[in-house]
Copies of this chain bind each other. A is one copy, B any other.
Amino acid sequence: MSQYRIFNHEDAIGYVRQTARLDPDVTLQGEEIGDGNLNQVFKVCQPGKAKGFIVKQALPYIRCIGESWPLTRDRARIEAEILLYHGQYSPEYTVAVLHHDPALSVILLEDLSDLQVWRQALLEGQHFADAPAQLGIYLAQVHVHSSDFRLDYLGQRTAQLQFANPELMAISEAVYFVDPFCDHERNNVAPEIRDDAEQLWADQALKLRVARLKHDFRCKGQALLHGDLHTGSVMVAAGRLKVIDAEFGGYGPMGFDLGVIIANLLLNFCSQSSAPRRLQRIQDISALWHSYHAQCLRLARETPDPALAAPEYINDFLQRVWQDALGYAGCEIIRRTIGVAHVADIDNMADPVQKTASQRQALALGRMLIMSADQLDEAQLEKTLLQQSTETER
């Protein structure tokens, strides 16, 4: 049994050498490349080679804060198990776990250096036209296969127990549904939009809907979620896509994953001064939903449970997933605008006046999505966004 120690790059190299079964004579170099908030990440490869291995290690605290905020290292085991589970059903779109060591809280992952982070690509104005449809297939595969469309009672309950991730999902509950809807010390509200935030905090009708979304996030255990599917958890290249970073995963409402990724596309939408790029984001969302819907329909129809096989049931079910998704998208947009963790799409905007306008637009859009979740179908959302895009133009 290996004993936990915080890795340096030598440890990472040793771990790769031991687990990847490389020739002992091979020279390896390692460097820390982590840019996330929670963990350390090493890239280990042969000198001169672009591709090697990724070693991700959980620290017993939140990396960007330090030892004052302890956090279970068990998240590495949970992440590895979720990625392996998702990888069973969506091997094409899930990063491959090559090895994991629960005692060391370490995961050995395939190196995706030939792909780039989707958020970064969007920031640079690149368009990966296939990515939304691919992501829709990925989500449908991991959702349907972990849901009652595939698992019997015992199977699904066992999965719910295996992937219970209370400590990290408690953080999600706080940062999505609590902090952004009150004047919480963890929030990060730009002074220019303080009034807008205060208006939000006083909006009882909105808070009522958010309370319901919070309840469902905790109690509606439909499928094994990724749990943190923003554009920084997706790696893309021409015709390729891989999802990474599943440590916030666990059972929850399907609409949550869908909502989070839609929200991140919308945050990019709000940050764009270019009309064609705004249009791309609208099309991305449309492509994502249509792909998800079609793939869910196809997979759900093959359910061994005759009670759930009726197309009418599946369509009705997916309509509710869409409604949930809009609500969760609204929460993600709002929390990324006034909560503790922002997104680069808006935070990096150079022009302070445009940045404030984008933040304001994001808050309004987030609120609208939450309030209109049960009235907007995909076509109506598209129409609304096109209208907003044209108004921004003027």
Within 8 A of B (CB), among A110-155: 148, 152-154
Within 8 Å by CB of A153, from B169, B204, B208, B306, lies B169
Question: In the complex the two chains form, is B166's CB within 8 Å of A157's CB?
Answer: yes
Q: What per-residue 1/0 map shows which CB atoms of A299-341 lie under 8 Å from chain B?
A: 0000000111010110011000000000000000000000000
Binding site secondary structure of chain A: helix
Which range holds the interface residue count of chain A?
35 or more
Find residues 191-217 in chain A having any chain B CB closer than 8 Å to their own CB: 204, 207-208, 210-212, 214-215
Q: Which residues of B contact A152 (CB under 8 A)?
A: 170
Contact stretch, chosen from A38-46, A218-226, A267-275, A284-292: A218-226
- Whether A310 contacts B207 in the complex (CB less than 8 A), given A148-B215, A153-B170, comes out as yes
Closest chain B CB from A113 CB (angstroms): 36
Beta-carbon contact of A211 and B161 below 8 Å = no
Q: Max chain B CB contacts within 10 Å: which of A166, A167, A211, A317? A: A211
Is A164 engaged at the interface, CB distance under 8 Å to the other chain?
A: yes
Q: A148-B218, A161-B164, A219-B220 are in contact. Are A307 and B153 (CB under 8 A)?
A: no
Is the Cβ of A156 less than 8 Å from the Cβ of B218? Answer: yes
Interface residue A97 (Cβ < 8 Å from any Cβ of B): no
Measured between C-beta atoms, what is the minimum distance from A57 to chain B in Å? 24
How many copies the complex holds: the figure is 2
In the complex, identify which listed stretch (A6-14, A174-182, A357-365, A380-388) lies at the interface while the others stay far away: A174-182
How far, in whole Å, are A160 and B306 apart by their CA atoms in the complex? 28
| Other-chain contact of A307, B157, B166, B167, B181 (Cβ < 8 Å) | B181
Partner of A177, one of B181, B207, B307: B307
Q: What is the minimal beta-carbon distance from A324 to any residue of chain B, in angstroms?
A: 12
Q: For the complex, is A101 an interface residue (Cβ under 8 Å from B)?
A: no
Q: Chain B contacts of A208 at CB under 8 A?
A: 310, 312-313, 316
- Is A173 part of the contact surface with B, judged by Cβ < 8 Å? yes
Residues of A8-67 contacting chain B, CB below 8 A: none
Residue of B nearest to A221 (CB): B219
Instruction: Tell me the complex Cα distance, A174–B166, Å.
Output: 29
CA A157 to CA B317, docked complex, whole Å: 25
Q: Which chain B residues lie closer than 8 Å to A317 at the CB level?
A: 212, 215
- 3 closest pairs, A vs B, by CB? A153-B170, A157-B166, A211-B307
Q: Can you identify 6 A-B contacts, CB atoms within 8 angstroms?
A: A148-B215, A156-B218, A160-B164, A207-B310, A208-B313, A211-B313
What would 16 more interface pairs be, CB under 8 Å, given A156-B218, A158-B166, A161-B161?
A: A152-B170, A153-B166, A153-B169, A153-B170, A153-B173, A154-B170, A157-B170, A208-B310, A208-B312, A208-B313, A208-B316, A212-B313, A212-B316, A214-B307, A215-B222, A215-B308
